[in-house]
A and B are shown apart, each in its own frame.
Chain A
């Protein structure tokens, strides 16, 4: 796939402050559309903060960021999929109801049964989500990856709580997304994942 030079995620001089403390400063990076970026750095280096800023949930202290989808490979799914530390799963609703709500809410027409099957949660559709294990809940939170491919996917330590099989399953799903032209930014400590195209090391961006 040919990539336009300025398509994708462009971050310029981005700084983040939390509670009066400088978390990172003057971060510059470019993740081309359809590339996979890993976000690295020790605890407290601002990986989650950066993802929240990129998702548009909190404003940066300084600097700019923009995401441009590549013209010839605009994907049918939503502009953005962000999965943070928390799973946003309601224990009082069934697995299928949880997923169906988020699909409907984000305007997706994907079939919840198919998405659940792809996410490795077959046979659990009618189970109240409160009965799921920690790892299964995480899988449910990540299930929307397998609906229509979004243009930009931001994941905050997606493998926490996942067993080896689920990690491998997620990995294959992410590789597939990259092949489809989805831009991925993943905060991760883990090894054993596919080599990223871009590594953003927040340990170096400290002020």
Chain B
């Protein structure tokens, strides 16, 4: 079972690197939109700094949502999902492996470039560690919750659109605490982000696996 998990993780990472579309789309969107904001928001430094956490989080969240609908779609279209379900790895394991690969391929590059954009948006340099920590705790939750939506809209026409409507409201708590964690010198929002991640880790794969089984019928 561990062998199958690692094999699936490695395959998805390999596909992400070879194909590059998901990573490029997510990262490109994040970089471009955040840069647009840096030009669009008032030249007043203090005002810009106040807006920076919100802008960064909303951009990151939308960027991650962009490739979310493809999480199971490609495998469903070419029959790989059927074959995955017939293997020794339970559906929960399939969801977990695919989420981990997706997070590594899309959220990690975003995390890597976020300090640059934060400085561009006039976020004070001493807030950077908080931003990284908040993104590190928040983005896996976004991917896990997104996976439930991706599994639910599997096979639906305009699945991406449906997914946004379904998932964006669920992203609000992560956004609230994520922004709060960057804005204030307060540990509480980070703890909330951590708690949400633990809850998502426990529940989202279960829900997504159930949705996948449903989609197979």
Q: Hey, which bits of chain A sit against chain B, CB under 8 A?
A: 55-59, 80, 82, 84-90, 92-93, 97, 101-102, 104-107
Please classify how large the interface on chain B is, using the bins under 10, 10 to 19, 20 to 34, 35 or more.
20 to 34
Assess the B15–A92 pair: CB atoms within 8 A: yes
Contact of B83 among A56, A59, A88, A97 (CB under 8 A): A88
Beyond A104-B3, A105-B7, is A87–B85 a contact (Cβ under 8 Å)?
A: no
Contacts of B74-98 to chain A: CB distance below 8 A: 77-80, 82-89
Mask, B86-112, CB within 8 Å of A = 1, is 111100000000000000000000000
Residues of A within 8 A of B4 (CB): 104-107
A-B contacts, 12 listed (Cβ < 8 Å)? A57-B86, A82-B82, A86-B77, A86-B79, A88-B78, A88-B83, A92-B15, A93-B14, A104-B3, A105-B7, A105-B84, A107-B88
Which B residues are closer than 8 A to A by beta carbons? 3-4, 7-8, 11, 14-15, 18-19, 77-80, 82-89, 216-217
Q: A88-B79, A104-B3 are in contact. Are A56 and B14 (CB under 8 A)?
A: no
Also in contact, A107 and B3, with CB within 8 A (given A90-B15, A93-B11, A101-B11):
yes
Nearest chain B residue, comparing its CB with the CB of A58: B217
Contact residues in A for B3 (Cβ distance below 8 Å): 104, 107
User: Does the CB pair B7–A58 fall under 8 Å?
Assistant: no
Tell me whether A58 and B87 are in contact (CB under 8 A). no
Q: What is the bound-complex CA distance between A57 and B215, given in angstroms?
A: 10
- Could you tell me the distance between the alpha carbons of A97 and B3 in the complex, rounded to whole angstroms? 15
- A93 touching B18 by the CB < 8 A rule? yes
